[in-house]
Structure 1
Amino acid sequence: MNYTFLSATILLLLITDPIGNIPIFANALKKVPLARRPKIILREILIAFGLLLTFMFVGDSFLRVMGLSELALQIGGGVILFLIALRMVFPPAAAQEVELETEPLIVPLAVPAIAGPSALATVLLLVSHQPEQRLEWIAALCVTMLVSAAVLLAAEYIQRVIGSRVVTAMERLMGLVLVAVSMEMLMRGIRTFISQMHS
């Protein structure tokens, strides 16, 4: 499954889900002064960016050390994407109640809200499958983080203008697209596995 800069950017945006993270960030930052919130949002995004970028550079070594094949990563990544997509389409009742008493650091905003298991698996898959396009994947990740920063910094304005129902509807729509992406990833992995068994 070959990706381009555009398709990789769209995939990363669907997985990091900045629209779906709006209520998570809003609840986690309730007790934080308004003037402090933009700094925390940018800090958490930079932490998530650093983690995902690290995985892009150590991905091949990580797979070799763990003894994992690209095929296993593709099938496993498809399963994780499918589970994440289901949570986007059918969110648990208490999924957005992440109100903290203290200022959040790394958890739960940078990890797993932005750089969750599905995002980490995706950057590993991109680099292991098409390592010659690493610069494109880095650029796609940069665009993804910039979009996430813009959306999350304007979260209160977005919620006020379009309303929480539209935000929820948009997240579920992105979830449906991600279901299709995850199924395509799974089917390609299974077909490759079957062809290897018969060869």
Structure 2
Amino acid sequence: MSLAELSVNFFVALFALIDPVGNVPLFAAATVGATPAGRRRLAAYIALFSLVFLTLIYFSGLSILQFFGISMPAFRIAGGILLFLLGLDMVRDDFTARFADESEEGAEPLSTSAYARRRFERLVVPFAMPLLIGPGAISTVVIYAAEAKDFGIRGMGAGVGVIAAIALSILVSFWMTSLISRALGRIGMTIVVRILGLILCAMAVQFIIAGVAASTHNLVRHDAVSPYETDK
């Protein structure tokens, strides 16, 4: 496999796993009531975090998890629990209420940068990780980093370029959130929040099932871990 083919495959796999376009409605739900400028700044923070974190994983591999003695199945289960709690908040409508109320409570309105920093602190977990950057994305970065070593510095540079392109796709996708919010309206956003909350809960349970299956022997059936896997 050439370096160009490796880079293209890496980008396609990572883009499919992170799915920035598919997460736009969820980002819109998480920023109900935000100004367009505040939402753009928050999107920039999330994209920058993705760039830095994935680059760190690209060069360090699983060393960080190994240092703390954390396995990928354990990471997947923990991520599933966090996503489940987030999904419950969205289904109960506490999620949108929490963001809308905060913008009204302060005696002085927050500046764009202050709003983005405060919201980023609350969304970095579980939105940026593990929803955007989950175990699948982390393991994919580690695998392609190992393959890129065969190309030396060029390979490592190409990998960083792919990660930068993914971060840019997150930024551009989330900057389109205002268009989606105007199209759906407040009622439409409320409906989206509740539906996505249910989907997140189901995704969280699937994460936990996969984590349990990977850490046990024949405790979970294969078709429960990968229900839609086609036979080749």
The reply to whether TM is greater than 0.5 is yes
Distance 1:176 1:138, change over 3 A: farther
1:1-199 matches, cutoff 5 A: 4-5=13-14, 7-10=16-19, 13-14=22-23, 17-26=26-35, 38=37, 40-59=38-57, 60-92=62-94, 94-96=97-99, 97-99=101-103, 100=106, 101=108, 102-103=110-111, 104-105=113-114, 106-113=116-123, 115-122=124-131, 123=133, 125-130=135-140, 131-133=142-144, 139-152=165-178, 154=179, 158-159=181-182, 161-195=183-217
Give ranges in structure 2 of 5+ residues lacking alignment. 1-11, 146-158, 220-232
TM-score by length of 1: 0.72
Q: Using the aligned pairs only, state the percent identity.
A: 17
Single out whichever of 127-136 and 96-105 deviates more from structure 2: 127-136
Aligned amino acid, residue 145 of structure 1: L
Aligned amino acid, residue 77 of structure 2: I
Indicate if the aligned counterparts of 1:8 and 1:140 stay in contact, CA closer than 8 A.
no
Indicate if the aligned counterparts of 1:85 and 1:175 stay in contact, CA closer than 8 A.
yes
The structure with more radius of gyration: 2
SS at structure 1 position matched to 2:102: coil
Indicate if the aligned counterparts of 1:45 and 1:149 stay in contact, CA closer than 8 A.
yes
| Partner Cα distance (2:82, 2:24) in 1 | 10
Aligned amino acid, residue 25 of structure 1: A
Report the aligned-residue RMSD.
3.2
Indicate if the aligned counterparts of 2:29 and 2:193 stay in contact, CA closer than 8 A.
yes
| Partner Cα distance (1:140, 1:82) in 2 | 26
Indicate if the aligned counterparts of 2:51 and 2:164 stay in contact, CA closer than 8 A.
yes
| Partner Cα distance (2:190, 2:91) in 1 | 9
Deviation at 1:107, TM superposition (A): 3.0
Deviation at 1:21, TM superposition (A): 2.5
Cα offsets for 1:63-121 (capped at 9, x unmatched): 233222111101101111111111121122841312142314243223323x3334223
TM-score by length of 2: 0.63
